[in-house]
Amino acid sequence: MTAVTSSVSNHPRFDAILFDCDGVLVDSEPIVNRLIWEMLIELGIDISLEDSIQRFLGKAIREELDAIAEMRGAPLPPNWLSTFQARRNVLLEAEVEAVPHIGHAIDVLSRLGLPMAVASGADRMKVELQLNRTGLIEHFQPTDVRIFSATEVARSKPAPDVYLLAASSLGVSPSRCLVIEDSPTGVTAGHAAGMTVLAYAGRNAPGPLIAAGAARTFTDMRELPELPELLA
């Protein structure tokens, strides 16, 4: 596919664009999904990589500890979560890259003049680590009003909390927010917040994304600025 040269309309349909982080801005999911699977195997849980991905994709591991203990049939070691986070951070610091062409998409969308923010179901340390590693942090400054994470809300995705916090902080109505997601869990969260969700299906099948409430799927970030849902 050739790169799109866009002259996006100055009459956008929305008042803010909210990006998920993992799988939308950064290609972290293969790295983290494999680590989750490896650490489940280390716990003695008999599960395939594919089943592990299906079970935990888009979910905050800290909210799945009881489920993992149930799968194991025994309590988790007391330091299991902190060990997971430390191993995760080392891998991401060394390996994570931006999703292909996301920088181009953000640059084009910035011509709309809308506030753009990150609304992630991950912890804030992970979000900022990845955005700094990939250089995408510059698109979401100042960070106090442009980065929102599960650290700041009571419930992570699929609950809508982080998206509602982002809209409130930006001073916009949820119904006037466009969400860019990539997992059924995240799409569910954006849809539950009353927002329009476009789903990047670069790695995940489009069917479950549509079933979760996505208005449309797309497979290349260069397509994003051209989608008709963006414009009034």
pLDDT in tens, 113-123: 899 999 999 99
Considering the domain boundaries, does residue 71 fall inside one?
Answer: yes
d(CA 162, CA 22): 14
* CATH code, 70: 1.10.150.240
Backbone angles phi, psi at 205, to 5 degrees: -65, 140
4 is a domain residue: no
Closest to 224 measured CA to CA, from 202, 206, 198, 204: 198
89 and 109 in a single domain? The answer is no
Please tell me whether residues 77 and 104 are part of one structural domain. no
Domain at 211, CATH number: 3.40.50.1000
Q: Give the structural domain span for 42.
A: 28-93
Domain-embedded: residue 194:
yes
Instruction: Tell me if 12 sits within 8 A of 231, measured CB to CB.
Output: yes
Question: What's the mean per-residue pLDDT of the chain?
Answer: 92
Q: Is 60 exceeded by the pLDDT of residue 10? A: no
Q: What is the full DSSP assignment across 29-41?
A: HHHHHHHHHHHHH
Residue 105 belongs to some domain of the structure: yes
Identify any residues that bridge with 181 across adjacent strands, giving them in sequence order: 199
Tell me what the mean pLDDT of segment 204-208 comes to: 94
Q: What is the pLDDT of residue 6?
A: 46
Mean pLDDT of 3-15: 60
Q: Do residues 56 and 127 share a domain?
A: no
Is residue 6 in a domain? no
pLDDT at 11: 58
- Please tell me whether residues 118 and 213 are part of one structural domain: yes
pLDDT of residue 5: 42
Sheet holding 216-218, edge to edge: 147-148, 116-119, 16-19, 177-181, 196-200, 216-218
Residues 147 and 224 placed together within one structural domain of the fold: yes
